[in-house]
A and B are shown apart, each in its own frame.
Chain A
Amino acid sequence: MKEIVVASGKGGVGKTTVAASLAVFFAKNGVKVFTADADVDAPDLLLALGGGKKLFSMEIKASRKAEVDEDKCMGCGKCIEVCPFGAVIGPNDGKATVVSLMCEGCGVCKLVCPVGAIEVREAPTGTLGVEETKYGFGCATGKLRLGEHNSGHLVASVRNISRRKAQDAGSEVIIVDAAPGIGCPVIASITGADYVIAVTEPTPAAKRNLERLSKIIKHFGVPAGVVINMSGYSKDFEIALKDWVVRELGFQLLGEIPVDYEVVKALVQMKPIIEFNPDAKASKALIEIAERVRGEIL
């Protein structure tokens, strides 16, 4: 079973659009597919796939949060000094208060408290679930609590459950829709995967962030290909970008998707573009990309 991760340094370049179309293309062309939404901060893959039927969901408690016992706290302020995350503050009444949203649960406040007023307790990180899409394949999803830190842990849980369920279903491939950026959730998505599809757009800002993403991909030694989305506005820049991807990054160019407002209409209808309008320019490009991915990775 192969795991293909759809990632991007910059947000909003079309990860979810590519992941949804790729999964549906596979499903309709005899490839047994499973999906995972590893953007646990803002999970959108099921929205792009028209929703799902919930098979199960559970709460994940992998976080820890400090709590101050106000009766014991004598307001010495030592915890405020040592908190590396700025999460312990001293409000007006002289007692320490933990801003739960900022707390990573490291517990150094508890270590320095001379009167034992601080306890660190297990706290919810988010939810984990599996849903069945209308295309017959499953989708593992996670939802991180607002403002929470522990995204890498939740992403690992999403990947674990997707592997188990995909194995049970006899799937050949898992498509993982990753978070934007290069931080913890992205590293947790890419580590140990078989292939990364890096989606970008032909703008200097997206190029710069693709370069940053490429450093992570290379660090973890995962083969990768690039999809240039929303192309067609700046030909010179696009030619230079394609050349740079192949020569400088050493990644395979999987294809280009032209700017096409049918993609927006498809999003609004909550259907993958290749399903909404298979004749659209963007669909044709996506189908070519999906065929290339199938041919070369599966």
Chain B
Amino acid sequence: MKNLRKKIVSTPIVAVTGGKGGTGKSTVAVNLAAGLSAEDLKVMLVDTDVDGPSCATLLGVQLEGGEEVRTFVPDIEASKCVGCRRCIEVCPEHALIGLQEKIPKLYEELCSGCKACQMVCEYEAIKDGWKKIGTIYSSVVDEVKLVVGELRPTEPRSPVMARATVMKAIEELKGDGYDVAIFDTAPGVHNAVAQPLWVADLALAVTEPTPLGTHDLKLILDLARELGLPVEVILNKADVPGGLKDELLNTCHERGIKLTAEIPLDEELLRSYIAGEPLVKKAPNSPAGKALMSLVSTIRDRLKGGEI
């Protein structure tokens, strides 16, 4: 897999992921973006968690406008359709149904937009129709370019929307002199997570010291390995009372994975989360603020050294 992944844009891309939900992926992503930007790097922050994007909220910005993302759905011209059923037979999602010699009916929510129906129709009865699957918002917050993908509620295809967000970001990265792009991912290890990881140069897996955190971390480490993507671990809530830090460190050690940062529990972090202001700006000297500032310096040095 490693040699299949090709760099499609020269900007270094750091993906912030982690497997389990609520471990602090978006917190790390926004702080990294804000911190690197304050170090005079030109930063793009991309929220690819299209089911539940949080980066804008954490930066305290309202998203406005936005660009619709549409995918193909078949628009069947009744006058041309002869009822041959080729489209119904070929549809891999069973989104088209119909009785003999009747015009097929489309179940739009099942359609993946693959166009197989259009390709097999010999009578050119299937025109391009569209459905909206989500919106991509762009904004600039304190010199950080923010790109957010948001799935339209009731649309099930998160991977397609995540891919659209990734492609949009890459298009904007091309030729615009960015020093780094930070991609925040959804929780889990499904395809909507694989989409941003596919284009990344480094993954930071944020986890917490609980059996669930360790379990889900292993899954994301497996996925990164499958993709041939270098991955490092960030341990959040490191000192949570009763936590299983040693077991987590063992997992990292056994797999030869570097622990890049440890972020302690810190009420200041929660306050910054609620206030919508990154901790590296609001309280850089708090315990978690220091840990995040140190992560920013580490990543900055490695970017400057061309290591990412």
Q: Which residues does A use to contact B, with CB under 8 Å?
A: 8-13, 16, 41-42, 44, 47-48, 64, 82, 84-86, 89, 91, 97, 99, 101-102, 104-108, 111-112, 144, 146-149, 151-152, 179-188, 202-205, 208-209, 212-213, 215-216, 219, 233-234, 237, 261-262, 264-265, 267-268, 270
Q: Determine if B243 is an interface residue (Cβ-Cβ < 8 Å).
A: yes
Q: Determine if B99 is an interface residue (Cβ-Cβ < 8 Å).
A: no
Q: Is the CB–CB distance between B226 and A204 below 8 Å? A: no
Q: Is the CB–CB distance between B52 and A147 below 8 Å? A: no
Q: Find chain B residues with CB under 8 A from A212 CB.
A: 51-52, 153
Q: Is the CB–CB distance between A42 and B216 below 8 Å? A: yes
Known: A104-B112, A146-B226, A233-B267. A10 touches B154 (CB 8 A): no
Q: Determine if B78 is an interface residue (Cβ-Cβ < 8 Å).
A: no
A-B contact pairs, 29 of them (CB 8 A): A11-B187, A12-B20, A13-B21, A13-B22, A42-B189, A44-B20, A47-B212, A84-B115, A102-B195, A106-B112, A147-B189, A184-B157, A188-B156, A205-B26, A205-B54, A205-B57, A205-B58, A209-B52, A212-B51, A215-B153, A215-B154, A237-B274, A264-B241, A264-B242, A265-B241, A268-B210, A268-B243, A268-B244, A270-B211
Known: A16-B212, A108-B114, A234-B274. A181 touches B20 (CB 8 A): no
Complex formed: what's the CA distance from A202 to B270 in Å? Answer: 11
Complex formed: what's the CA distance from A273 to B286 in Å? Answer: 31
Q: Is the CB–CB distance between A183 and B243 below 8 Å? A: no
Q: Find chain B residues with CB under 8 A from A183 CB.
A: 50-51, 151, 156-158, 192
Contact of A216 among B154, B226, B267 (CB under 8 A): B154
Q: Find chain A residues with CB under 8 A from B198 CB.
A: 99, 101-102
Q: Find chain A residues with CB under 8 A from B222 CB.
A: 146
Q: Find chain A residues with CB under 8 A from B163 CB.
A: 85-86
Q: Find chain B residues with CB under 8 A from A146 CB.
A: 189, 194, 219, 222-223, 226
Q: Is the CB–CB distance between A208 and B54 below 8 Å? A: yes
Given contacts A42-B216, A208-B57, 5 further A-B contacts (CB under 8 A): A102-B194, A146-B194, A146-B226, A184-B156, A264-B242
Contact of A11 among B4, B22, B115, B116 (CB under 8 A): B22
Contact of B189 among A41, A102, A180, A233 (CB under 8 A): A41
Complex formed: what's the CA distance from A268 to B120 in Å? Answer: 55
Complex formed: what's the CA distance from A183 to B270 in Å? Answer: 27
Q: Is the CB–CB distance between B19 and A42 below 8 Å? A: yes
- Closest Cβ–Cβ distance, residue B74 to chain A (whole Å): 13
Q: Find chain B residues with CB under 8 A from A184 CB.
A: 156-158
Interface SS of A by simple majority: mixed
Q: Is the CB–CB distance between A111 and B51 below 8 Å? A: no
Query: Quick one: CB contact mask for B183-197 with A, threshold 8 Å, 1 for yes?
Result: 000111111111100
Q: Find chain B residues with CB under 8 A from A13 CB.
A: 21-22
Q: Determine if B230 is an interface residue (Cβ-Cβ < 8 Å).
A: no
Q: Determine if B178 is an interface residue (Cβ-Cβ < 8 Å).
A: no
Q: Is the CB–CB distance between B156 and A147 below 8 Å? A: no
Closest to A105 in B: B92
Q: Is the CB–CB distance between B90 and A107 below 8 Å? A: yes
Closest to B242 in A: A265
Closest to A236 in B: B274
Q: Is the CB–CB distance between B4 and A84 below 8 Å? A: no
Q: Find chain B residues with CB under 8 A from A215 CB.
A: 153-154
Complex formed: what's the CA distance from A209 to B289 in Å? Answer: 26
Q: Is the CB–CB distance between A111 and B4 below 8 Å? A: no
Q: Determine if B3 is an interface residue (Cβ-Cβ < 8 Å).
A: yes
Known: A101-B227, A208-B57. A187 touches B216 (CB 8 A): no
Q: Is the CB–CB distance between A11 and B240 below 8 Å? A: no
Known: A215-B154, A216-B153, A264-B210. A108 touches B119 (CB 8 A): yes
Closest to B23 in A: A12
Q: Determine if B104 is an interface residue (Cβ-Cβ < 8 Å).
A: no
- Closest Cβ–Cβ distance, residue A135 to chain B (whole Å): 18
Complex formed: what's the CA distance from A183 to B194 in Å? Answer: 15
